[in-house]
Amino acid sequence: MNMGKYDDILDMPRPESFRRKMTPHDRAAQFAPFAALTGYGDEISEAERITRPRAELCDDAREMIDRKISSALALRECAPRLDITYFVPDKRKQGGAYMKARGRVVSFDEFDRTITLSGGEVIPVYDIYDVAFLSD
């Protein structure tokens, strides 16, 4: 075997610094600010969020809802409790979600065509999908 210049140190362990020992977590954290796809996670979350299309009601169903709302307004002194299902359009994507609100009718704005319930919900009449009277 040929004796080379560094044969005496070839089998020695690699030297390690005891002052600058960094954990793998801390080492990875150094490179976090240089993420090439900043905001990509938010975009993925937004794309995964599911919205529903608005259901178009037939004329008979719309008329029935209008009658129920008129009855609730006429009986406002008796303060009937209502269960209203309504559509909330999504601000970022096409479609939206159906929500439920329960309460008594506080006011009706004829100009904006909105109903305000005792819980503070302001619901546009056009977005109402169903109205049910609740027994106390």
- The pLDDT tens digits of the residues spanning 63-121 come to 999 999 888 888 877 878 999 999 999 988 889 999 999 999 888 898 999 999 998 99
The secondary structure of residue 91, as a DSSP letter, is: S
Q: Is residue 28 part of a domain?
A: no
- What's the CATH code of the domain at 64? 2.30.30.100
Domain that holds residue 91: 59-134
User: Residue 1: pLDDT band by 50, 70, 90 thresholds?
Assistant: low
Q: CA 125 to CA 115: how far, in whole Å?
A: 7
Q: Is residue 84 part of a domain?
A: yes
Number of domains in the chain: 1
Q: Give pLDDT tens digits for 69-84.
A: 888 888 877 878 999 9
Q: Is residue 117 part of a domain?
A: yes
CB distance 105 to 73 below 8 Å: yes
